[in-house]
Chains A and B, each alone.
Chain A
Amino acid sequence: MINAQRFSVSSGIKHLIVLAFVVLWTLPTAGLLVSSVRDADQLIVSGWWTALVATERNAAHRTGTADSQVEVDNQFRIDGEFFREDSGRTVVSWGTGGRNLDEFQAGDTWVQDDGSRLTVNEDGSYVWLSEQPFEHARGIRLFYIAAIPPRFTMANYERVLAAEGIGRAFVNSVTVTLPATFIPILIAAFAAYALSWMNFWGRSFFLAAIVGLLVVPLQMALIPVLSTYNWLGQTWVGSLGWEPRSYLGVWLAHTGFGLPLAVYLLRNYMAGLPREIMESARMDGATHFKIFITIVLPLSVPALASFAIFQFLWVWNDLLVAIVFLGQGEGRTVLTAQLRELLGSRGDNWEILTSGAFVTMIVPLLVFISMQRYFVRGMLAGSVKGG
């Protein structure tokens, strides 16, 4: 009895903590999503949690001048509209100065000293009537509180994808990420097999060297690697002829920086596979390549998938390697870099930043959600079965 109770209390706390984390992680994403489909005008006056209620905004309007008056039934009148047609906005209250916005309610009439009467209706239309002709050359300013109904729009997305270059950057990101994920896995799988199941001189030394490479900070290596790459492409005897700063360069760089971890993870996993299978296969006359392709590779899928996810997310979210090895310009900026550019040029346009950020996030989100299974399994596989 006591045991059961303790169990339920502790699991209750556990659930609460998990719930808190879930909320902590999803809330910003939800906010970002909501903000990214809101109308730009509303976004600057209120937060995303108010997206479903009308927002109020103070504004001013200058009335028409005497030129726009018409004479109807011996009365002179000036008509006008606060809002564009079909905006759905309404006037809450209005006044004659910025400090007294609630002087009049919608529909009220302001009788001026000269006897003219100005009425502002709820739909934002106003009528200014006078017995005498108007003579003012400059309209007067009316101040009002407008209620803006909630409005959601995909226009922000259309704008960032086309005009702000996020669409192009998305393609660039995919171009960078897919090869930069595939190449290191390919190489690392071969290497991991060799390091765990083939006997050759210096095997443990190579393994130690690769593990040692894990601690080299890539920031230190960026510029030397880039200049070596440029030198190989341009100046080296029998130059390889590639462009300075190209996609090939960024693929190679990501491969190089990703390999140590890939080899280490995969070797740990492959070394943990049962020795008996390999030995019986060998006895049946299978070559190393045959064993690798038919036995080890299928058995290593969880580890391969887990590393693929890691590498994919890392490359997708990478900014530093991309801007160093690819540089700038439309054909070259990846999503993270383009988002950074937007931050500079459009730092005050929240609707653009939020929709741009969401486009950037969507792929990692999908990858994570759809491959979550492998994620956990593979992480355990690489660490627990170390050998």
Chain B
Amino acid sequence: MIKKRTLAVAITSAALATGAMAQDLHFPIGEGPFSWDWLEEFENLDLSGQTVTITGPWLGGEQDSIRRVLAYFEDATGANVDYSGSDSFEQQIQVDTQAGSPPNMAIFPQPGLAEDLARQDLLVPLGSDAADWVRENFSDGDGWADLGTFENSSGEEDFYGVMYRVDLKSLVWYVPDNFEDYGYEVPTSMEEMIALSDQMVADGETPWTIGLGSGAATGWPGTDWIEDLMLRLHEPEVYDGWVTNDIPFNDPRVIEAIELFGEFARNPDYVAGGPQAVATTDFRDAPQALFDIPPRAFMHRQANFIPAFFPDDVVVGEDVDFFYMPSYDGKDLGDPVLSAGTMMAITRDSNATRALMQFLQTPLAHELWMAQGEFLTVHLGANTEAYASDVLRRQGEILLGADTVRFDASDMMPAAIGAGTFWTGMVDFVGGASAQEIADDIQRSWDDL
């Protein structure tokens, strides 16, 4: 047994060594649009020999990006930061925390999951100072502070989660060349967008491509549509009430939004492949319709991360572009924006972990990823010059310039709804069930909780 044990130790330490392989710093310190001053206070901190483990949902290129950011913390403090990403993060973090071997820090893609863990006292509260910091330093800070505030097992509220990396969902993607060929203009109001869709139908074309498929999470792109439409039909207070179920799911105002989604997704003239294709098309394949020749569709509503699934040779900003999903001119609701994002929380406390949390709150930590692309922030201190491209900068401006920012409702609803019946309800709705039926069903499942 001894032999095997030493072997196991040898193998795991070999694995750790490759994980922590010293990385060259991606951007030279002291150059470029970065707030390097923030590094100083960490340089005085000696954390050598300490290891901070982080798990999160980022894989592939995103995993490379976060490691490059963390390398600056390692370099300054001597600590060792071990990030590992997983596509099954949601299950992994539950296993880790339940079995008593959590990482130091976890990056939650859904606040609802963090809330569940906080309720079981599996998260470490960050204190009201951290909450105040978020209020002061984030655009629309009160909202972000509330988002990270959860109750523990004895019902006391505390602040647990800080947002790092925000997604912008209210975008419509299109191919400028196709718009140019047909003489279409980018719409600036919901009325214009619907008129444009009708114009495309009149020209014998198909305006939209929508795909709800996403493996076990099939249906979520539909929930994003509903959320975006909710913000454009009703006051933000209605949205907030809907999220907490103070306004029931089968309220006429919610049903109005579902039905409006139906006017797009269930209209055979409006969607590529017809309504049947909406439920069966994978969300990653849906944008392909824009790039086909002749185009199978002209517009695709999806969050800022979708270019990762565009064909390799497509250049964002040239071959494909986006516009803000406009609001109704006829309604006085301003320009609402639907967002999502990842939340950092501490699952096992240590000095080095607290220091890393501090580091990730500095403008520098945001800028270092902004400059690598695929990263938006609401941090007011972060220099927008650092954005890797104009495309990102424009998206960042939409986020900062919005009149109302609301977080993805399905991510905040209890998992049984937001990652359960709401998703399946979308598939049923596109499949032909009425808005009233699915709303009643979802409300019933909420009552059963």
Contact = CB atoms under 8 A, between A and B. Distances in A.
Interface residues of A, number: 45
A337 B59 CA distance: 13
Given A329-B84, A341-B59, A143 B4 contact: no
Interface string B86-121: 111101100110111100000000000000000000
Interface string A236-268: 000010111111100100000000000000000
B326 to A, nearest CB: 26
How big is chain B's contact interface, by range?
A: 35 or more
A226 B99 contact: yes
B95 A223 contact: yes
A314 to B, nearest CB: 20
A223 B98 contact: yes
A344 B8 contact: no
Interface in A326-363: 327-332, 337, 340-341, 343-348
Residue in B18, B60, B98, B285 with the greatest tally of chain A CB atoms within 10 Å: B60
A175 B100 contact: no
A47 interface: no
Contact of A340 (B15, B88, B282, B295): B88
Contact of B293 (A59, A330, A337): A59
Contact of B100 (A230, A323, A331, A343): A230
Nearest to B214: A347
A226 B92 CA distance: 13
Residue in A99, A222, A337 with the greatest tally of chain B CB atoms within 10 Å: A99
A153 interface: no
B259 to A, nearest CB: 31
B215 interface: yes
A245 B16 contact: no
B282 A348 contact: yes
Contacts of A97: 181, 294
Contacts of B91: 323
Interface string A59-71: 1101000000000
A296 interface: no
Interface string B1-41: 00011011101101110110000000000000000000000
Contacts of A240: 5
A227 B88 contact: no
Nearest to B286: A348
A246 B19 contact: no
A91 interface: no
Contact of A347 (B89, B95, B101, B284): B284
Contacts of A290: none
Contacts of B181: 97-98, 141
Contacts of B92: 323, 327-328
A311 B7 CA distance: 22
Contacts of A328: 55, 84-86, 88-89, 92
Interface in B304-323: 309
Contacts of A150: none
Residue in B16, B82, B100 with the greatest tally of chain A CB atoms within 10 Å: B100
A245 B101 contact: yes
A322 to B, nearest CB: 11
Contacts of B177: 60, 62, 141
Nearest to A320: B91
Interface string B70-88: 0000000000001011111
A101 interface: yes
B292 interface: yes
Given A60-B177, A329-B15, A341-B86, 15 more contacts: A58-B292, A143-B294, A234-B101, A240-B5, A242-B9, A243-B9, A244-B99, A245-B96, A251-B4, A328-B92, A331-B16, A340-B88, A341-B88, A346-B60, A347-B215
Interface of A: 58-60, 62, 97-99, 101, 141, 143, 175, 179, 222-223, 226-227, 230-231, 234, 240, 242-248, 251, 323-324, 327-332, 337, 340-341, 343-348
